[in-house]
Amino acid sequence: MIPSSYPTKEEIARLSAAMLLDIQAVHFNAEEPFILASGLPSPTYIDCRKLISFPRIRSTLMDFMACTVMRNAGLEAFDNVAGGETAGIPFAAMVAERMVLPMTYVRKKPKGYGRNARIEGAMSEGQRVLLVEDLTTDGGSKLSFVDAIRETGAECGHTAVIFYYGIFDGVEESLGAHGIDLHYLCTWWDVLAVARERDTFSKETLDEVEAFLKSPRAWQEARKG
């Protein structure tokens, strides 16, 4: 069903952050930082994949995503919804259902046999495709997925995520230079604000997280290795 209620951007951000905290998808640990895929440390970690196990919350967030995209881009802006392998696939399916659109998915790399395809499902030349993923940090993976979509002759100028780090410089500018608009529900700043309201973590932990959010590269450089 196409969502017909459009909460404000601020209300969506606050509620989305609260729901991610509710299901313990948010992890803060300043004493023993998490090691990210880049090999760099971080006092923050988020697991949006956990949402698939919480039907009421995942349904609400997918309503929010459909509302956000349709409000920002238009109700008739897309012909296809593509999920990025792997985390984006279930969310793309749910958003496509809400927007009453076909769903496809994009592989990280060609599968190496058969058609050697990166696009699975029916995507045709000229279609306007919305790329859906769970989150974005620096936007790098989005560029590869968008390029794979464009190689089919389809258009892709929008990507939507549940969670956007929102702390690294130049991400939206880099995506914009590639012709991509980023749509998201909440950021680390939204999560931090709700966590402070709830006293979910100790003040010391939240203060250290805030120090990281204000200057992530400097924080990482001081603690790597």
Question: Tell me: the pLDDT tens digits for 170-179?
Answer: 999 999 999 9
pTM to 2 decimals? 0.94
Give me 200's structure tokens.
């979910």
Question: Tell me: the pLDDT tens digits for 189-213?
Answer: 999 999 999 988 999 999 999 999 9
Give me 222's structure tokens.
């001081």
Nearest alpha-carbon partner for 179 in 199, 154, 201: 154
- Please state, in angstroms and rounded to a whole number, the distance separating the CA atoms of residues 96 and 92: 6
Domains and CATH numbers, the chain: 9-216 (3.40.50.2020)
Kindly tell me the sign of the dihedral angle through the C-alpha atoms of 179, 74, 103, 165.
positive
